[in-house]
Amino acid sequence: MRRNLSVTAASYALVLSLMLLPILVNSASAQIAIPADLQNDQVEISYVAPRNPAFRPLYDRYKNRQVLEQLRAFMAPLSLTRKVTVKIDQCGRMNAVFQPGGDVTICYEYLAQIDKLAPAEKTALGVTREMAIAGAFIQVALHEMSRAVFDVLNIPVWGRESDAADKLAGFIMLQFGPDVALTTLRGTAHFFEASERTWTGSDFSDVRAPEAQRYYNYLCIAHGGPSSEAFRPFLAQIKFLELSRAKRCIQEYTDFSCFSKSRTQTFTNNCKIARAEWVENADGLVFHVSADRFLRNMVRAIVGTLILVGRKAMKPEGIRDIIESKNRSNAGTSVPACGLYLTEVKYPYL
């Protein structure tokens, strides 16, 4: 990324896209004025006319709404070392597998599936047709662009690259306030749930995860992210919070402001917790925690809060409420530092 990245400009570009994408279901033409400073000469776009006449309405709609122009504007802050072409094209299948050094392709077949699965009327969960189309398109656009960014910037990925692209797309959707997050993630979740594809045999060797798994992954991102309070009614309605997976979401993505001293010089309080458990030995109980980073006072505050649970002064589910509050005063008292030890430091890139 460029060091002089303008967060305001990038945010404006994405919010502008999300304000306009919900009207994709309308057929009327509309020209969008994109600010001149939101340009990236390394990103080229193309709307390839489909060979199948059935896809012609999709070609006209997406081209008239300038969705690729808006995506290019959002990518303005990226400092790419080579040109990347982003195109909408007929693929002969639902998805075009990204090839290193190749183009980013969004398939008409996939867009047709988005239209097919979008509800005609507002669902019981509050998902409108506009929301479903907008969310699913934003997800696939950010997902495919993420794979190109991994390739161009030589970003190492462990596991399936598609899973990493999914997580990056979901992370981006959460960065622009609860309204944008609710629109995109709920629309995305609806698309994956509505697909109802049955995976069998060799399907599980696919480079992408099953739609059902991607559905729950995005719900987990929503539950653990910065707009978790806004998602709570929706997640409660689908009974997601009752699943055991929900208890682990805090480890997958969270903000630990509630366990950090205030007015520190950190730019973010997000930490990725890899392990957090109590282990019993001959001397008593030992709390083990590992993460990609720790905030000032974080571990001592976590232990102090967990002790309240052990003493039955707090219910276990209260931990989630404390973390989501992002308020240090809601957590327990920090335990003395004399029992805190650093046992290991790992460098994943070495």
What pLDDT, in 10s, does the model give residues 243-270? 555 555 555 546 778 888 777 777 788 8
- Give the phi and the psi of residue 191 in degrees, each rounded to 5: -60, -45
Write down the pLDDT at residue 251. Answer: 57
CA 204 – CA 189 distance, rounded (Å): 20
Span 285-298, pLDDT tens digits: 888 888 888 888 89
Task: Please give the mean pLDDT across all residues of the chain.
Answer: 79
pLDDT for 191: 85
pLDDT tier, 7 (very low <50, low <70, confident <90, very high otherwise): very low
Beta strands at 84-89 and 104-107: parallel, antiparallel or unpaired: parallel
- How far apart CA 29 and CA 62 sit, in angstroms, is 10
Angle at the Cα of 311 from the Cα atoms of 298 and 299, rounded to 5 degrees: 10
CB atoms within 10 A of CB 179: 13
At residue 164, φ and ψ (nearest 5 deg) are -65, -40
3-state secondary structure of 203: helix
pLDDT in tens, 194-244: 886 666 666 666 667 777 778 778 888 777 776 667 777 777 777 765 655
Of residues 246 and 178, more confidently modeled: 178
Using the predicted structure, report yes or no on whether residue 41 has a pLDDT greater than 90.
Answer: no
Return the residue matching tokens 């806004």: 230
Please tell me the distance from the alpha carbon of residue 119 to that of residue 126, in angstroms, as a whole number: 11
* Cα three-residue angle 135-169-6, rounded to 5 degrees: 105
201: left (phi over 0), alpha (psi -120 to 50) or beta: left
User: pTM for the whole thing?
Assistant: 0.65
- Alpha-helical regions (H) of the chain: 7-20, 56-64, 67-74, 108-117, 129-152, 161-173, 178-195, 211-224, 228-237, 244-252, 298-310, 318-325
* 42 within 8 A of 98, measured Cβ to Cβ: no
Q: Contact, 158 vs 47, CB < 8 A?
A: no
The full set of domain ranges for the chain reads: 7-252, 257-339
pLDDT digits (tens, 9 = 90+) for 266-285: 778 888 887 888 888 888 88
- For 257-339, CATH number? 3.30.70.660
pLDDT value for 204: 61
d(CA 105, CA 89) in angstroms, rounded, equals 7
